[in-house]
A and B are shown apart, each in its own frame.
Chain A
Amino acid sequence: GENVEQHPSTLSVQEGDSAVIKCTYSDSASNYFPWYKQELGKGPQLIIDIRSNVGEKKDQRIAVTLNKTAKHFSLHITETQPEDSAVYFCATGGSNYKLTFGKGTLLTVNP
């Protein structure tokens, strides 16, 4: 089955800096790559997603890049704010809409 590796497991940045989280996957049939943000005591919330026919997608301070050949994709957050502090998960999906998640990255933005 699909295997998703996510790095780093923890990331600490100063407010205003950029944060980058990277994921690699094993199944070449994966064609959907969402990113979720999970705050303490809450369920995961979708922040951005990308499909395999697109190399990059941006939404304000958040961007995702995808390299299908290398089977990796990344989340970029610019101008980080304390409210960006949370656990971030990458995931992959295929034709059956089933998602496989990475283990998560705890992002801490220090004021």
Chain B
Amino acid sequence: EAGVAQSPRYKIIEKRQSVAFWCNPISGHATLYWYQQILGQGPKLLIQFQNNGVVDDSQLPKDRFSAERLKGVDSTLKIQPAKLEDSAVYLCASSYPEPQHFGDGTRLSIL
């Protein structure tokens, strides 16, 4: 089966700019997750969707981060405006309901 697809693979922006990441989960997976992985650390959950509803967004910095999952399939994560500390790999994962399968992530660099 096809894995979790993410794009772009790399993104470089200047601080205060905006950026968006896209995720296509494994077909049939109802649950979708976005994680932030800072260099040298484990992934940290930002938001969890069940179909197109939010289950947990307690760790999402809502003043600058937003996410949506229209039609319960693809999802986008947006950062606006970006800060230097947002430099990280953004991972998408999906599950039905376990285990979680991860995409290869988007590496974001903020200049």
A residues in contact (CB < 8 Å) with B = 4, 6, 32, 34, 36, 41-46, 49, 89, 91, 93, 96-104
Q: How many residues of B contact A (CB 8 A)?
A: 24
Query: How many angstroms from the CA of A109 to the CA of B56 in the assembled complex?
Result: 38
If A34-B99, A97-B31, A99-B100 touch, does A43 touch B91 (CB 8 Å cutoff)? Answer: yes
Chain B window 75-111, contacts with chain A (Cβ cutoff 8 Å), 1 for yes, 0 for no? 0000000000000000101010111111111000000
Instruction: Find the B residue at minimum CB distance from A41.
Output: B104
Query: How many angstroms from the CA of A102 to the CA of B101 in the assembled complex?
Result: 17
Query: How many angstroms from the CA of A104 to the CA of B89 in the assembled complex?
Result: 15
Instruction: Find the B residue at minimum CB distance from A44.
Output: B102
Of B45, B99, B105, the contact of A43 (CB 8 Å cutoff)? B105
Chain B window 26-53, contacts with chain A (Cβ cutoff 8 Å), 1 for yes, 0 for no? 0000010100000011111100100000
Q: Please state if A98 and B42 are interface contacts (CB–CB under 8 Å).
A: no
Query: How many angstroms from the CA of A43 to the CA of B23 in the assembled complex?
Result: 13
A25 CB, nearest partner CB in chain B, Å: 13
